[in-house]
Amino acid sequence: MDLSGRSVVVTGGNSGIGAAIVRSLAAAGASVVIDYVAHPEDTADLVKEVTSGGGRAIGVEADVSTIAGIEKLISTAVDEFGHLDAFVNNAGIEERHTLLEVDEKTFDHVMAVNLKSAVFGTQRAAKRFIEQGSGGIVVNISSVHEDWPMPGNLSYCVSKGGMRMLTRTAGVELGPQGVRVVNVAPGAVDTPINESTMKDDSLRQKLENSIPLREVADPSEIGGVVAFVISDAAKYMTATTVFVDGGIMRGSVGL
């Protein structure tokens, strides 16, 4: 995969799937803006790891649930690397509750971090791509739960379902301007979001038994697919979703 010379923003880039995406993109030669809201020390370590391997990366603290935060990331990419070629809407949180339990504040928070950020991240990145006249790509990290219900995880599922239609609608609107929009939808991945499941042997076993490939993904297995989707090898892909789930959605037993 050759992404040399590409300038990419990864939201929520200092942990979990985001950090793995940063590693894959940098290894392919891209220059990366790593967005974060917490743990500056992890961001600093990741920047050091990338730069000591000969890559280019910079950490930026920005809350992507605000347009100001998104604009800060894009202007940093342009100031530091001269242009923007790809924007990865990866930031996301999970707050487990059913429909009957959810309260307004929690719902608004999940939607702001997971979906509003992706809508305006896509919008602001697309405006920049159009202004540059160079085309570009937005990758939205959704989830198998963009399509597959997960009882007890209502707001998260609603936000991921929203990303599904964001990608389809924006992809169709922006195609004529050379801007691609693609979802990468992971299944169960060994990241902080799944920490409680991974630490509980019986829950982990139950989860793994429901996955045809019989293991939870390593974050690098998502990072590699994102690098592919950004690359020219995937330049005919838009307004669609790539599922990277070990077959979990086709398994016979749910969670």
String of DSSP letters for 67-101: HHHHHHHHHHHHHHHSS--EEEE-------B-TTT
Q: Is 144 in the site for ligand BGC (CB under 6 A)?
A: yes
Give the β-pairing of 56-61 and 31-36. Answer: parallel
Q: Which residue has the tokens 């330049």?
A: 235
Site string for ligand BGC, 79-98 (x = CB under 6 A): ---------------x----
DSSP state of 113: I
The residue among 128 and 145 lying less far from ligand BGC, judged by its C-beta, is 145
CB atoms under 10 Å from CB of 105, counted, come to 8
Q: Is 35 in the site for ligand BGC (CB under 6 A)?
A: no
Selected range binding ligand BGC among 3-11, 24-32, 140-148, 228-236, rule: CB under 6 A? 140-148
Q: Is 184 in the site for ligand BGC (CB under 6 A)?
A: no
CB of 133 vs ligand BGC, minimal distance in Å: 36
The residue among 39 and 206 lying less far from ligand BGC, judged by its C-beta, is 206
Overall residue count recorded for the chain in this entry: 255
Token output for 19: 């950090």
The sign of the CA dihedral 234, 239, 244, 246 is: negative
The residue among 124 and 160 lying less far from ligand BGC, judged by its C-beta, is 160
Selected range binding ligand BGC among 63-71, 118-126, 143-151, 175-183, rule: CB under 6 A? 143-151
> What residues are annotated to the active site?
156
Of 3, 184, 193, 234, the residue at the interface with ligand BGC (CB under 6 A) is 193
Which amino acid is located at 96 in the chain?
R
Residue numbers of the site for ligand BGC (CB under 6 A)? 94, 143-145, 150, 187-188, 193-194, 255
